[in-house]
A and B are shown apart, each in its own frame.
Chain A
Amino acid sequence: MKFTEEHEWLRVEGDLVVVGITEHASEQLGDVVFIELPEAGTEVTKDEEVCVIESVKAASDILAPIDGEIVEVNEPLVDEPGKVNDDPMEGAWFFKIKPSDASQMDDYMDENAYKDFIG
């Protein structure tokens, strides 16, 4: 699993990359009350805003961590945004990307580096 400085996690699943936010991020955000997901089939480029996530405190953007096509989104999350707080690392994934350049993953932190990053 890889981690971005934006507190997203990336997990390789076959030829796809699953993206969510870390437990640390979900704790910092507080109770999540709204999620806007991208549409499956959207071509995205790295650092493009693809999702909006709102907590009781504020709105944040989720960025596409790599270039590619969004092939699947976690639609049930829209009706159950609190899942981001309950199960951020597994059940509350946001979308799956088919990467156009998988080597972009190499730039991101591994779990130990991320732990150091959040201190």
Chain B
Amino acid sequence: MGELKRTPLYDLHIELGAKMVGFAGYDMPVQYPLGVMKEHLHCRGAAGLFDVSHMGQVALRADGYEAAAKAFEALVPQDVIGLGAGRQRYGFFTNDAGGIEDDLMFANRGDHLFVVVNAACKEADIARMTAALSPDVTVEEITDRALVALQGPAAETALARLNPAVADMAFMDFIEVELDGVACWVSRSGYTGEDGYEISIPEADAEGICRKLLEMEEVEGIGLGARDSLRLEGGLCLYGNDIDATTSPIEAALTWAIQKVRRADGDRAGGFPGADRIFGDLAEGVARKRVGLAPTGRAPMRAGTQLFAAAEGGEPIGEVTSGGFGPTYEGPVAMGYVGTAQAVVGTEIFGEVRGKRMPVTVAKMPLVPANFKR
């Protein structure tokens, strides 16, 4: 392992008393003095500020948005061309086997396509995009901007103090707007299941804007620990845990993210890696599916917990891919893959924790209802 990289907000994290950990090559705050539980509850009750500057911000430019979008559709099964200007969408890179190489957000910025990818995958993603799309499309990693997320029911009130225009944004809108006199790229999105924003800020101005937000009554800094429990309650996948190069989007219950126009009977059907496998999964069904899991008892069922159909005997029917304690749910929460026969909400199965099989119910995701501003 080389030296950990620092985000533009590193000094602020230290000043706030964060406990720092290495994550995807970056020195990141896992928690602040408030602690994971209170940070989580604060985000759902008011607003939380997250540093997500370790994620990759990438601009794809060609001769106009449509040209960039058309090229990008060769890598993802999403409708990129049909995304309106100033709008953002969730997507993922697929591989030839129909697995998922990374999940991402992309936005139509009028004259170009803006993509945000996971920190751990960003080098590979940029290499993939460059190899597949250049020279017609230029792939530019934006390394001089911080990325922060402001999430929670009070996020709008807080951010609107820096510019009232953000209050008018709908879920998945993406605009360029001045915050405190600084040109920022703001989307109404996030990864907590709460309403909120993701804000790309020139690195020199990031600390100042974050300080302004943190001074507000509603806002607390939130670390990676609570980010994980928030997204888990929100039923949102963590790349590398819940989805990876071997899981198809259909198995991963991400069918909703493949728009009709890219499906087998759509106007722009296929044309992305692994389309045959994915269309096969769609037509014929899959053997396993990602589901929400609500353990009956108090013991968390963490990633790697083997799942069984019965309290005794039999082979595993699946595995927990993310699990822990849900502070808002007030109990253990998990997600994982089970055989299609068990992938029915309400089915009682068993997870083996420390050699004992404990009951767990297949539950509707998200376990904590989302609170988006549609």
Residue of B31, B38, B299, B302 near A36 (CB, 8 A) is B299
In the bound complex, CA of A59 to CA of B324 (Å): 10
Which one, A52, A54, A56, A59, contacts B229 given CB within 8 A? A56
Are B325 and A34 in contact, CB atoms less than 8 angstroms apart?
Answer: yes
Partner of A57, one of B36, B38, B298: B36
B67 at the A/B interface (Cβ < 8 Å)? Answer: no
Interface residues of A in 72-119 (CB under 8 A from B): 78, 82
Specify which chain A residues have a CB less than 8 angstroms from the CB of B332 in the assembled complex.
Answer: 33-34
Asked if A30 contacts B31 (CB within 8 A), the reply is: yes
B327 touches A56 (CB 8 A): yes
Across the interface, which residues of B come within 8 angstroms of A31, CB to CB? 35-38, 327
Q: A56-B37, A56-B324 are in contact. Are A30 and B300 (CB under 8 A)?
A: no
> Would you call A34 and B35 a contact (CB within 8 A)?
no
User: Which residue on chain B has the smallest CB distance to residue A56?
Assistant: B36
Known pairs A52-B354, A56-B229, A56-B325; A34 contacts B298 (CB<8 A): yes
Least Cβ distance of A54 to chain B in Å? 5
Chain A residues, Cβ within 8 Å of B359: none
The reply to whether A30 and B225 contact each other, CB–CB distance below 8 Å, is: yes
* Interface residue tally on B, bucketed by range: 10 to 19
What bracket does the count of chain A residues touching chain B fall in? 10 to 19
- Please state if B35 and A59 are interface contacts (CB–CB under 8 Å): no
Residues of B within 8 A of A52 (CB): 299, 354
B37→A34 contact, CB < 8 A: no
**Chain A residue at minimum C-beta to C-beta distance from B356:** A36
> Nearest Cβ distance between residue B57 and chain A, in whole angstroms?
29
A101 to B320, CA, bound (A): 43
User: In residues 52-69 of chain A, which contact B (Cβ within 8 Å)?
Assistant: 52, 54, 56-59
Known: A33-B300, A34-B300, A59-B300. A54 touches B35 (CB 8 A): no
Contact indicator B302/A59 (Cβ below 8 Å): yes
A113 CB → nearest B CB, Å:
26
Instruction: Mark out the residues of chain A between 12 and 50 whose CB falls within 8 Å of any chain B CB in the assembled complex.
Output: 30-31, 33-34, 36
Distance in Å: Cβ of B271 to nearest Cβ of chain A: 43
Q: In the complex, which residues of chain A have a beta carbon less than 8 angstroms from the beta carbon of B300?
A: 33-34, 54, 59
Partner of A30 from B36, B298, B302 at Cβ < 8 Å: B36
Within 8 A of A (CB), among B312-347: 324-325, 327, 332
Instruction: Give chain B interface residues in 12-43, CB to chain A under 8 Å.
Output: 31, 35-38
Q: What is the bound-complex CA distance between A82 and B41, given in angstroms? A: 15
Question: What chain A residues lie within 8 Å of B298 (beta carbons)?
Answer: 33-34, 78
Chain A nearest CB, measured from B236 CB (Å):
17
CA distance A78 to B362 in the complex (A): 25
Q: How far is the CB of B357 from chain A (nearest CB, A)?
A: 15
Set of chain A residues within 8 Å of B36, measured between Cβ atoms: 30-31, 56-57
B219-252 Cβ-contact flags toward A at 8 Å (1 or 0): 0000001000100000000000000000000000
User: Could you say which residues of chain A place their CB within 8 Å of the CB of B325?
Assistant: 33-34, 54, 56
On chain B, the residues within 8 Å of A30 by CB distance are 31, 35-37, 225
What's the nearest-Cβ distance from chain B to residue A107, in Å? 28
How far is it, in angstroms, between the C-alpha of A36 and the C-alpha of B353 when the chains are bound? 12
Q: How far is the CB of B301 from chain A (nearest CB, A)?
A: 10
CB distance from A37 to the nearest CB of B (A): 12
Which residues of B are in contact with A by a Cβ distance under 8 Å? 31, 35-38, 225, 229, 298-300, 302, 324-325, 327, 332, 354
7 A-B pairs whose Cβ atoms sit less than 8 Å apart in the complex: A30-B225, A31-B36, A31-B37, A31-B38, A33-B37, A33-B332, A34-B325
Chain A interfacial positions (CB closer than 8 Å to B): 30-31, 33-34, 36, 52, 54, 56-59, 78, 82
